Structure 1
Amino acid sequence: MTRSLDGLTFAPVADQAPGQVGTRTRFAYHEDDGRIWAEYAGGDVVRGHLVGTREGDLLDFRYVQLRTDGTTACGHCVSTVVELPDGRIRLEETWEWESRAGAGRSVVEQVTEHAR
């Protein structure tokens, strides 16, 4: 699959631990010639940014975020791009904090206009 992520909005399918992204977080993705970046906010995240690369269906990026409690955090994520039966995109993520202990898996899915 090589469909561009440019201009797509994603949301987590489940809440993570407090102080992390959750179902109210929205990611606005951009893509240009193998480079990806996104802005995100919502829930416990006031502002977040990610930047990285895409090779085929594999994304590799770093992220940094400011949380509502005034703390910041950063980490690394590798995601696999999957097309859902309804044509939307899912990102299956494996992430690891670099600013503190912790790692995990999460899933974000493309949000359609009527579901925002």
Structure 2
Amino acid sequence: MTRSLDGLTLAPVADQAPGQVGTRTRFAYHERDGVVWAEYTGGDVVRGHLVGTREGDRLDFRYVQLRTDGTTSSGHCVSTVVELPDGRVRLEESWSWESQAGGGTSVVEQVTEPDG
């Protein structure tokens, strides 16, 4: 198993569609005894939360978010935790909305330097 996500900050490597998570979004992860959760904000997201479980290198969680246009949305995501050669963590994600149609894949990686 790769290392704990507790205390890590992760960010998407690419923008999704407008109104969704993007490269300016930051996720603050927590992990304890197989439970994972995070708060996220930035870009088109005013405030977001995710909560779920980790078994080995697999995360399974639900997320909810409030967007800058005042709308809310929610969905489900399954991620694989990958340790990069430089020691940072990457999550390779497959997600689907539950509050609206659609889904896709995304990648978030550990941020090691303050956002400029």
TM-score, scaled relative to structure 2: 0.97
Q: Could you tell me how far apart the structure 2 residues matched to 1:102 and 1:53 are?
A: 23
List gaps (5 residues or longer) in structure 1: none
Q: Could you tell me how far apart the structure 2 residues matched to 1:15 and 1:23 are?
A: 5
Extract structure 1 runs of 4+ deviating beyond 6 A.
none
Q: Could you tell me how far apart the structure 1 residues matched to 2:110 and 2:2 are?
A: 15
Deviation at 1:2, TM superposition (A): 3.2
Post-superposition CA distance 1:28-73 (Å, at most 9, x none): 0000000000000000000000000000000000000000000000
- Percent same amino acid at aligned positions? 85
Q: Please show how residues 68-79 of structure 1 align to structure 2 within 5 Å.
A: 68-79=68-79
| Number of equivalenced pairs | 115
RMSD: 0.7
Q: Could you tell me how far apart the structure 2 residues matched to 1:78 and 1:115 are?
A: 27
Q: Please show how residues 59-98 of structure 1 align to structure 2 within 5 Å.
A: 59-98=59-98
Q: Does residue 9 of structure 1 match 2:9? A: yes
Q: Please show how residues 1-116 of structure 1 align to structure 2 within 5 Å.
A: 1-112=1-112, 114-116=113-115
Deviation at 1:115, TM superposition (A): 4.4
Contact 2:2 2:82 in 1 (8 A): no
Q: Could you tell me how far apart the structure 2 residues matched to 1:23 and 1:2 are?
A: 24
Q: Could you tell me how far apart the structure 2 residues matched to 1:43 and 1:10 are?
A: 14
Give the SS at the match of 1:79: strand
**Aligned AA for 2:95?**
W
**Aligned AA for 1:88?**
R
TM-score, scaled relative to structure 1: 0.97
